[in-house]
Structure 1
Amino acid sequence: MSRLGLSLLFLAIFLLLVGLMLWGYRNRGRRQSAVLPAFPQVPAGLLERVRSRETEELLPPSTGVYASTVTDKSWQDRVAVGDVGYRADATAHLLTEGVLFDRTGASPVWIPAESVVDARTEAGIAGKIMGGDGLLVIRWAIGDSQFDTGFRADEKTDYETWVPAVRALKTNTPEVPHGE
C-alpha cells in the first residue's frame, strides 16, 4: 500500500473513533437526563450583579479552571447533561446565596447554599488530574442525587480560605477567615 493510502486509512480510522466517542458521550447525556434532576439556574439578575461587582462576596473571586461536575458514584462519572461536564476557564464567586462558577464560553454553574454538603481538596476529578491537593471539590445535592464539582484555582493558597468558607455555607453562617 502506498504512503498516501496508509495516510488516508489512518485518517479514516481516526475520524471513525472520534465519531464513536461523540456518539457515546451524547448517548450518556440522554441516559443521564432521564435520571438526573434538573440543575439549579442562576437566580435572575445575580450574574449581572456579580459581574458588575454590585453584590458583596464572602471571599475575593478566585480565577482558574472549572474542571467538571461528576456524580457521587465515581470521580470519573462526568455529568454529560448540557454543558455542565465541559471544562472551561472560570471565576469562582462565594456568595451568601451559594457558589457561582462564571465560565468563559459556557453557561455558569450555580450551587445554592442550601445544596452544599461539603468542600475539600482532591488530586483529581474527571477532566483534570493534578495530584496532591490540586483541586477544590464541592459536594452538593439536589434531592437524593449528590454531585462533586471540581475547580482548579490559579492560586492554590485560595483553598485554605475557600474550603472552610464553603463548608460554612451549609449552616448559613459563613465563616470568613481572619485577614480577608
Structure 2
Amino acid sequence: MERLLLTLLVFACFLLGLWAMRRSWRRRARSQSAQLPPFPQTPAEPGEELLPANKGLYVSTTTAGDWQDRIVTRGVGLRGRAVLRLYRAGVEIDRAGAPGFFIPRESIVEVKRASGIAGKVMGTNSLIVITWRLGDKELDTGFRGDDLDVYPQWIESLSEREIKGEAQ
C-alpha cells in the first residue's frame, strides 16, 4: 500500500508539472501576441525561386541577440520539418504541419551561421540564422538545413549588399 501511494504521489507531481508548463506556454503566447504584429504570409505571386529549396528543420524564432528567448505566439514556437525558399521579395519558411511565414527581404538585418538557438545546440556552426525586423522588434529565425554546403550561397544571396540592391 505504501508503494502505491508513493507511486501515485510521483505521478500526481508529474501531471502537475505538465499542467504548469502548458499554462506557462499559453500565457507566454498571449503576451507575445499583444507585443508582436502578425507574421507576414507568403505573397500570392512571390516570383521565381532564386536558389533551390533548402529542406531541413525549422528550429525556432527568438528575440534577436537572446538565443534562449523563444517566440511562441501564432504557432512559431514549435520546431519541425520545413523548406526554406528564397525569392527576390524575401524568404519563405514553409513548415510541415504548422503555419509557415514569410520574411520580407527589406526586413532582413543579417544572415549568419550559428551553433545554437532555442531548441537546438550544435557543436558546429550548422544553423543558419536570419535576423529580421517584425514591427519594432528584431527576431532571429534558426534553420538547420539537410545540406550544409549551400549555406554560403544563402548567406551571400541575402547579404546586406544585395538587400539594398547594390548588386544582384
TM-score (norm 2): 0.91
How far apart are residue 37 of structure 1 and its match?
2.3
- Which of 13-22 and 36-45 deviates more? 36-45
Partner of 2:10: 10
Partner of 2:143: 151
Give 5+ residue unaligned stretches, structure 2: none
**What percentage of aligned pairs have identical amino acids?**
45
| Structure 1 residue 86 corresponds to structure 2 residue 114 | no
State how far apart, in whole Å, the 2-side matches of 1:174 and 1:153 are.
Answer: 26
Q: Secondary structure at the match of 1:132?
A: coil
State how far apart, in whole Å, the 2-side matches of 1:174 and 1:39 are.
Answer: 28
Q: Is the 8 A contact 1:115 1:170 kept in 2?
A: no
Q: Is the 8 A contact 2:90 2:102 kept in 1?
A: yes
Amino acid paired to 1:98: G
Partner of 2:164: 171
| Structure 1 residue 114 corresponds to structure 2 residue 106 | yes
How far apart are residue 6 of structure 1 and its match?
2.3
Partner of 1:139: 131
Amino acid paired to 1:154: D
Deviations 1:34-58 (A, max 9, x none): 2122221222365xxxxxxxx5211
| Structure 1 residue 95 corresponds to structure 2 residue 68 | no
State how far apart, in whole Å, the 1-side matches of 2:88 and 2:45 are.
Answer: 15
Deviations 1:98-126 (A, max 9, x none): 10111101011210111111100001111
How far apart are residue 127 of structure 1 and its match?
1.1
Taking a change above 3 Å as real, the CA distance of residues 123 and 75 of structure 1, as seen in their structure-2 partners, is: same
State how far apart, in whole Å, the 1-side matches of 2:45 and 2:13 are.
Answer: 47
Partner of 1:50: none
Q: Is the 8 A contact 1:58 1:174 kept in 2?
A: no
How far apart are residue 64 of structure 1 and its match?
0.5
TM-score (norm 1): 0.85
Q: Secondary structure at the match of 1:157?
A: helix
Partner of 2:154: 162
Give 5+ residue unaligned stretches, structure 1: 47-54, 176-180
Taking a change above 3 Å as real, the CA distance of residues 149 and 42 of structure 1, as seen in their structure-2 partners, is: same
Amino acid paired to 1:130: M
State how far apart, in whole Å, the 1-side matches of 2:59 and 2:42 are.
Answer: 19
Taking a change above 3 Å as real, the CA distance of residues 20 and 3 of structure 1, as seen in their structure-2 partners, is: same
CA RMSD in angstroms, aligned pairs only: 1.7
State how far apart, in whole Å, the 2-side matches of 1:172 and 1:80 are.
Answer: 33
Amino acid paired to 1:7: T
How many residue pairs get aligned? The number is: 167
